[in-house]
């Protein structure tokens, strides 16, 4: 689930509402297409709109575009995402092939990709469809794939590393977003306490790597025990490897931990535990995975902040009905995350 501080309200239609225009574009960019096409929205993301485009004989493509209202695509830059996918082609990180990018009549950009084999695990039910042996094998593959990403040369992306450390940038950015939507939250005091602790206990600067930014099972395509594609690269940057790892570990919830609104397929059981995932990652990267409690606290604080933004937009009625999340459930999850973040932070003292 990709979450953002700022998601524009649902307003003008995009390419996903115009099958004839989509078919016309495909006819100009792919060798074989049989019109008409159908377009089905997929995924549980709260950000870019992802759709499955199917032609009359069953050929399929995946289309990504910003939510209506974000015509400049600044917060949800699918053209940048296309460049990242192209840069990662032919690496050990499996990504879809980019068919092309285009612009709708209303001025909104879109990205068309090939349809890769496999499907995301978005729920415990999805995970239960895999045999226990496949779940364990898949967990190893997920950790290995993240390790392979972090071993790539960041220069491949053509994105310069910032002079400001990733954690410092994120603390500033997330705090600014919280001030807009979270200042009146009943969780504000707990949020502020964790924020102060994170600011005071910053770890030493980590290696600069290509970060995915939202690396979790729901953003991967899997088939059996294999990762067939890594999706949703809009948050990709040159940044801190351990923030990426901690975000994955927070998604990697066992059934013994409290459930939150962000689904954790691993609660179905049968997956490697977090320690095993870290060991696989360490073997691939050679990185000493230190200060993990700090990064777990940071990731949970950041997730709570982003969920507060989602809650505010849901209450305002500006996000439509797709993958709707109850605001009360969001508020409960924010509390769970901040309590856990405070616990991790306490262990760094």
pLDDT in the model for residue 263: 87
| The predicted structure's pLDDT at residue 341 | 98
For the chain, what is the mean pLDDT? 89
Q: For residue range 80-120, list pLDDT tens digits in order.
A: 999 999 999 999 999 999 999 999 877 889 999 999 999 99
Bridge-based pairing state of the strands 98-103 and 60-65 = unpaired
Residues 136 and 270 in one domain: yes
In this predicted structure, what is the pLDDT of residue 168?
A: 96
For residue 7, is pLDDT > 60? no
Over residues 179-197, the mean pLDDT reads: 92
Q: Among the three residues 62, 85, 114, which one is the final residue of a domain in this structure? A: 114
Q: Which of 114, 140, 168 represents a domain boundary (last residue)?
A: 114
Are 188 and 293 found together in one domain? yes
Higher-scoring residue by pLDDT: 252, 315: 252
Q: Is pLDDT at 284 greater than 90 in this prediction?
A: yes
Statement to judge: residues 43 and 189 lie in one domain: no
Last residue of a domain, one of 82, 114, 146: 114
Q: Is residue 107 located within the same domain as residue 129?
A: no
Q: Chain centroid to CA 283: how far?
A: 24
Please report whether residue 29 resides in a domain: yes
Model confidence pLDDT, tens digit, residues 198-231: 999 999 889 999 999 999 999 999 998 999 999 9
Domain match, 28 and 155 both: no
Q: How many domains does the chain have?
A: 2
CATH of the domain at 128: 3.90.1200.10
Q: What is the pLDDT of residue 315?
A: 65
The Cα–Cα gap between 309 and 314 comes to 9
Cα 76 to chain center, whole Å? 12
Q: Answer yes or no: is 7 within a domain.
A: no
CATH number at residue 91: 3.30.200.20
Give residue 5's pLDDT: 38
Domain membership of residue 163 as a residue range: 124-346
Whether 180 and 38 map to the same domain: the answer is no
How much is the pLDDT for 303?
A: 95
SS3 271: coil
What's the rounded Cα separation, in Å, for the pair 195 and 197?
5
Residues 235 and 313 reside in one and the same domain: yes
Would you say residue 253 lies in a domain? yes
Q: How confident is the model at residue 324 (pLDDT cuts 50, 70, 90)?
A: low
Q: Is residue 254 assigned to a domain?
A: yes
Question: Do 171 and 286 have their domain in common?
Answer: yes
- Tell me, what's the pLDDT at 9? 38
- Counting residues of the chain whose pLDDT is more than 70, the rounded percentage is 89
pLDDT score, position 316? 61
Q: Say whether both 263 and 220 belong to one domain.
A: yes
Verify that 106 and 157 share a domain, yes or no: no
Confidence of residue 47 (pLDDT cuts 50, 70, 90): low
């Amino acid at each position: 689930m990709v979450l953002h501080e700022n998601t524009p309200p649902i307003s003008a239609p995009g390419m996903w509402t115009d099958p004839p225009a989509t078919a016309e574009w495909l006819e100009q960019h792919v060798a074989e297409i049989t019109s008409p096409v159908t377009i089905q929205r997929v995924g549980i993301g709260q950000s870019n709109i992802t759709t499955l485009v199917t032609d009359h004989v069953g050929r399929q493509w995946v289309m990504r575009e910003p939510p209506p209202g974000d015509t400049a695509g600044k917060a949800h830059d699918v053209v940048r995402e296309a460049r990242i996918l192209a840069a990662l082609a032919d690496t050990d990180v499996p990504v879809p092939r980019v068919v092309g990018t285009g612009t709708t009549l209303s001025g909104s950009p879109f990205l068309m990709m090939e349809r890769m084999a496999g499907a995301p695990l978005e729920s415990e039910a999805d995970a239960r469809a895999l045999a226990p042996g496949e779940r364990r094998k898949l967990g190893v593959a997920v950790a290995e794939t993240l390790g392979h990403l972090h071993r790539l040369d960041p220069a491949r992306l053509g994105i310069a590393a910032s002079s400001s450390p990733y954690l410092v940038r994120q603390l500033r950015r997330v705090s600014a977003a919280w001030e807009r939507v979270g200042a009146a939250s009943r969780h504000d005091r707990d949020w502020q306490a964790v924020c102060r602790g994170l600011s005071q206990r910053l770890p030493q600067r980590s290696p600069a790597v290509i970060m995915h930014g939202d690396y979790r099972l729901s953003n991967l395509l899997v088939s059996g025990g294999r990762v067939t594609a890594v999706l949703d690269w809009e948050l990709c940057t040159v940044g801190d490897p351990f923030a990426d790892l901690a975000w994955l570990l927070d998604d990697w919830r066992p059934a013994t931990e409290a459930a939150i609104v962000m689904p954790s397929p691993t609660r179905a059981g049968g997956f490697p535990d977090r320690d095993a995932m870290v060991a696989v990652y360490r073997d691939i990267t050679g990185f000493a995975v230190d200060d993990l409690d700090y990064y777990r606290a940071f990731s949970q604080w950041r997730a709570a902040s982003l969920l507060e933004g989602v809650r505010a937009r849901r209450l305002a009625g500006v996000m439509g009905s797709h993958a709707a999340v109850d605001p009360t459930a969001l508020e409960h999850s924010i509390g769970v995350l901040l309590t856990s973040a405070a616990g991790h932070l306490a262990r760094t003292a």
